[in-house]
């Protein structure tokens, strides 16, 4: 089983839904299916007043789509970094000739909104066109408070757009695009949406659409206007529609929205995450293991980054995949340049199609692994996790 933070486990039901012969992509039936997927994806970001451009791409494609639809060479953007992914987005911007100013908060913290407020205050003539950040950084596993960040922007009266990468968090951590006033949300198919990699989504507000009208970086393939206002269906995906992905998405969205219910999905993620943290707290009592993000309120419900000290992180991952069939995520960005393994970083992905017995199986396998590699640790981890799991009021049956 993969317990990595994406691609996540694809449910059999989704695989079966994808396993269909190619349909007539010019039929009304197929166009209706595509439209239903688009409108349900908007329900997942909790927004009604937005456009959705869907791409046959991974998350990096959606980054580029957002940048090219909004900006021109020389534009200044402020990128707020709390791990590795926002900085990656900034590098894309740089490569496109956009000036990306990175405000760095390190690998173990969330955003300090006061520093943002000060920077916006300095920018009297509104040079900063947009503020970009990630909701959840999949490497550090921090969850940023997007609502507060948006309030800072609004209260400052600064006209910058707010762009948020929700690739790790969508359908895992609560996210409300409309209520929080986000202009652009980036997502992809392979994490909380439970699909294979291959589709990426850019949700954008009317304000963003207007702001991007003069963007000189726009190219025909990434152009979001044509995708949301197609003269004919063909333009919705700028070419042949990804039929099997859309079949899979239809099934996954039924599972999320119409069967389990989004609130229950989010609650399940919260409880499974807390089970992980409860186990780590116990293990960490008498050993090196700790969560990368110390403050629980700032941790994502989709992924937990851990530090076990060298050499335990790498040894544990190796032992688990060899002896138990559980694959944990590699640590990203946590070591030092001289010694990337120093923190013994690794990650547990707990996103998407995951239930209590999968989570408990992962944690119990880790217990066995710590014993096998001789990693010092406290006792009682599995009992502590079970105490959290017991709070689950429903479970996913399929």
Ligand X SMILES: Cc1ncc(COP(=O)(O)O)c(C=O)c1O
Q: Which of 34, 47, 138, 304 binds ligand X (CB under 6 A)?
A: 138
Complex with ligand X: residue 188 or 328, whichever CB lies closer: 188
Residue 375: CB minimum distance to ligand X, A = 27
Q: Residues 288, 344: contact at Cβ < 8 Å?
A: yes
Residue 195: CB minimum distance to ligand X, A = 11
Quick one: the chain helix, strand, coil %, rounded to 5?
A: 45, 15, 40
Residue 132: CB minimum distance to ligand X, A = 11
Only one of the segments 134-142, 206-214, 216-224, 314-322 lies at the binding site for ligand X (rule: CB under 6 A); that segment is 134-142
**Tokens (6 digits) for 58:** 């991974």
Task: Say whether residue 10 binds ligand X (CB under 6 A).
Answer: no
Task: Say whether residue 165 binds ligand X (CB under 6 A).
Answer: yes
Number of residue whose CB is nearest ligand X = 59
Q: Which of 10, 131, 134, 359 binds ligand X (CB under 6 A)?
A: 134
**Tokens (6 digits) for 347:** 């990650």
Task: Say whether residue 167 binds ligand X (CB under 6 A).
Answer: yes
- Overall size of the chain counted in residues: 398
Binders of ligand X in range 57-76 (CB under 6 A):
58-60
Complex with ligand X: residue 63 or 319, whichever CB lies closer: 63
Residue 152: CB minimum distance to ligand X, A = 21
Across the beta sheet with 327-330, what order do the strands follow?
2-3, 327-330, 345-349, 303-307, 290-291
**Tokens (6 digits) for 392:** 């689950």
Across the beta sheet with 99-104, what order do the strands follow?
50-55, 200-205, 184-188, 161-165, 128-134, 76-81, 99-104
Phi, psi values for residue 336, rounded to 5°: -105, 160
Q: Which among 324, 329, 333, 282 is positioned nearest to 304, based on CA atoms?
A: 329
Q: Which of 3, 4, 6, 280 binds ligand X (CB under 6 A)?
A: 6
Binders of ligand X in range 185-204 (CB under 6 A):
188, 197
Complex with ligand X: residue 33 or 246, whichever CB lies closer: 246
227/55 Cα distance (integer angstroms): 9
Per the rule left: phi > 0, alpha: psi between -120 and 50, beta: everything else, 2 is beta
Complex with ligand X: residue 284 or 329, whichever CB lies closer: 329
Residue 56: CB minimum distance to ligand X, A = 12
Interhelix angle 381-389/262-284, rounded to 10 degrees, is 160
Question: Would you give the distance in Å from CA 198 to the centre of its chain?
Answer: 15
264/397 Cα distance (integer angstroms): 13
Binding mask 284-323 for ligand X (x = CB under 6 A): ----------------------------------------
Complex with ligand X: residue 85 or 237, whichever CB lies closer: 85
Residue 197: CB minimum distance to ligand X, A = 6
**Tokens (6 digits) for 170:** 């969508």
Only one of the segments 18-26, 55-63, 177-185, 215-223 lies at the binding site for ligand X (rule: CB under 6 A); that segment is 55-63
Residue 9: CB minimum distance to ligand X, A = 15
With vertex at residue 121, the alpha carbon angle to CA 118 and CA 122, rounded to the nearest 5 degrees, is 90
List the beta strands (DSSP E) in 288-358: 290-291, 303-307, 327-330, 345-349
Complex with ligand X: residue 192 or 369, whichever CB lies closer: 192
Q: Which parts of this chain interact with ligand X (CB under 6 A)?
A: 6, 58-60, 85, 134, 137-138, 165, 167-168, 188, 197
């Amino acid at each position: 089983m993969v317990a990595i933070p994406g691609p996540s486990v694809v449910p059999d039901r989704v695989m079966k839904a994808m396993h269909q012969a190619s349909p007539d992509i010019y039929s009304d039936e197929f166009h209706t299916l595509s439209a239903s997927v688009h409108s349900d994806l908007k329900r997942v970001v909790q927004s009604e007043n937005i456009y959705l451009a869907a791409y046959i791409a991974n998350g990096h494609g959606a980054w580029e789509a957002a940048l090219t639809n909004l900006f021109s060479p020389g534009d200044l953007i402020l990128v707020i970094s709390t791990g590795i992914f926002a900085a990656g987005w900034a590098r894309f911007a740089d490569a496109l000739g956009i000036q990306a100013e990175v405000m760095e908060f390190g690998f173990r913290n969330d955003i300090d909104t006061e520093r943002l407020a000060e920077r916006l205050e300095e920018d009297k003539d509104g040079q900063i066109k947009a503020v970009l950040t990630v909701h959840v950084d999949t490497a550090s596993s921090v969850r940023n408070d997007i609502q507060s960040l948006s309030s800072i922007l609004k209260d400052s009266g600064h006209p910058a757009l707010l762009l948020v990468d929700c690739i790790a968090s969508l359908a895992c951590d609560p996210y409300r695009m409309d209520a929080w006033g986000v202009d652009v949300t980036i997502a992809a198919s392979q994490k909380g949406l439970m699909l294979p990699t291959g589709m990426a989504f850019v949700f954008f507000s009317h304000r963003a659409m207007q702001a991007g009208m003069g963007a000189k970086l726009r190219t025909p393939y990434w152009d979001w206007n044509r995708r949301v206002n197609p003269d004919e269906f063909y333009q919705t995906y700028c070419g042949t529609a990804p039929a099997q992905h859309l079949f899979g998405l239809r099934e996954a969205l039924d599972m999320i929205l119409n069967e389990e219910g989004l609130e229950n999905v989010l609650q399940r993620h919260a409880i499974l995450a807390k089970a992980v943290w409860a186990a780590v707290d116990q293990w960490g009592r008498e050993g090196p293991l700790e969560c990368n993000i110390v403050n629980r309120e700032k941790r994502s419900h989709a992924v937990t980054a851990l530090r076990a000290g060298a050499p335990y992180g790498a040894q544990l991952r190796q032992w688990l995949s060899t002896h138990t069939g559980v694959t944990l995520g590699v640590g990203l960005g946590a070591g030092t340049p001289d010694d990337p393994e120093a923190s013994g970083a690794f990650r547990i992905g707990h996103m998407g199609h995951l239930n209590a017995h999968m989570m408990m199986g992962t944690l119990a396998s880790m217990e066995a692994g710590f014993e096998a590699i001789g990693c010092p640790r406290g006792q009682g981890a599995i009992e502590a996790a079970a105490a959290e799991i017991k709070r689950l009021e429903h479970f996913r049956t399929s």
